[in-house]
């Protein structure tokens, strides 16, 4: 398959009449698959009502069929096509955080592709904040199912070049709108219960949600074998670089000891660190992902940093752990999934 490429300046005053937008939207309307930027990561879009279109997402990504997709909309009115009921607290959350990196799980209407919901009676919906994403969805005239535009299991793409690296020749088109902003995926909130429950931490923090919805719970349970996940990112290992990754809880000095031990065994070792501590490590490769004092900068560059290791010929990667406050919850969620929950702790509480 020949993949078409378009470039749009995200800072330009966008219009659905832009040829790059109309051409991408036309492909979506024809049940083809097109990648485009959102404010979180690049998404791989398809007509949410078409089984044929949505199947192409799974085929391109190599994504498991029981992993549901998020439906993206450009206007609140499109919810009428997708859901049967919206609790009052969900309405308030939409007013506060849409457009933005918040996905709400609600009871679904009939008509959606069965592959979008993975057989569940709910659907995950969000309105992206990126002006290019909104323009493409509006021009297509359809709700668009769009997981991250990467091969399943690899780090999510925050640049169009990441998408091309994984999916060139596998999808109909890629719209390059420059780097994304937030860098980690949306927060996923189950709104089918009396109190909202966070199923996946993301760009909107628990603290921010609670300013609007009051008490918000966090789903801490692991998905049991055979249990269908209600949200993307709950069941499978995600975001992983090619080399094994371990998250280290402890001081830079402790992490450096681990590096030296592996080097003595003949391994090439990579370290993922904050900028403040990068000079603490004498590893074969040290890649930074933002500043510890600015966790939003870590989130924005995390996936790009993980992808860089794939070109560095390392045998093992150690990553610093980050504070689990605010967006740090999402950062650690992604790092632990990338590591398959392989951890080492200076205190001796190691696990996997």
List, as residue ranges, the binding site: 40, 63, 67, 72, 122, 126, 146, 148, 156, 186, 200, 239
Binding-site residue set for L-threonine: 40, 72, 122, 126, 146, 186
Distance from C-alpha of 44 to C-alpha of 287, rounded to nearest angstrom: 27
Find out whether 304 and 319 touch, Cβ atoms under 8 Å: no
**Cβ neighbours of 2 (radius 10 Å):** 7
Distance CA(199)–CA(221), nearest Å, equals 9
Cα separation, 206 vs 318, whole angstroms: 28
Output b/e per residue, 56-72; b: 16+ Cβ within 10 A: bbbebbebeeebbbbbb
Please enumerate, by residue number, every residue annotated as part of a binding site for ATP. 63, 67, 148, 156, 200, 239
């Amino acid at each position: 398959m020949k993949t078409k490429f378009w470039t749009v300046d995200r800072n330009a005053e966008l219009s659905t009449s832009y040829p790059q937008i109309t051409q991408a939207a036309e492909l979506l309307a024809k049940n083809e698959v097109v990648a485009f930027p959102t404010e979180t990561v690049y998404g791989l879009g398809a007509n949410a009502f078409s089984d044929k279109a949505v199947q192409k997402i799974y085929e391109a990504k190599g994504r498991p069929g029981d992993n549901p997709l998020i439906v993206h909309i450009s206007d609140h009115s499109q919810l009428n096509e997708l859901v049967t009921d919206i609790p009052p607290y969900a309405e308030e959350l939409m007013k506060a955080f849409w457009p933005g990196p918040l996905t709400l799980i609600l009871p679904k209407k009939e008509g959606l592709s069965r592959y979008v919901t993975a057989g569940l009676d709910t659907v995950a919906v969000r309105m992206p904040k990126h002006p290019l994403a909104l323009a493409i969805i509006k021009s297509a005239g359809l709700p668009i199912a769009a997981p991250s535009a990467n091969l399943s299991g690899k780090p999510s793409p925050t640049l169009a070049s990441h998408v091309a690296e994984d999916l060139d020749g596998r999808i109909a088109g890629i719209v390059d709108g420059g780097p994304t902003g937030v860098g980690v995926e949306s927060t996923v909130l189950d709104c089918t219960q009396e109190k909202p429950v966070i199923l996946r931490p993301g760009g909107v923090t628990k603290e921010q949600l609670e300013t609007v919805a009051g008490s918000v719970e966090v789903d801490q349970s692991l998905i049991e074998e055979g249990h269908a996940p209600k949200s993307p990112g709950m069941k499978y290992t995600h975001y992983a670089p090619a080399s094994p990754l371990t998250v280290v809880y402890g001081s830079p000095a402790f992490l450096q000891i681990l590096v030296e031990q592996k080097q003595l065994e003949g391994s090439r070792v990579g370290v993922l660190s904050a900028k403040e501590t990068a000079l603490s490590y004498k590893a074969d490769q040290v890649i930074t992902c933002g500043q510890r004092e600015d966790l939003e900068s870590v989130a924005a560059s995390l996936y790009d940093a993980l992808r860089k290791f794939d070109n560095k010929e390392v045998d093992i990667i150690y990553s610093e752990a980050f504070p689990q406050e605010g967006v740090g919850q999402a950062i650690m969620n992604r790092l632990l999934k990338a590591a398959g929950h392989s951890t080492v702790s200076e205190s001796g509480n190691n696990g996997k």
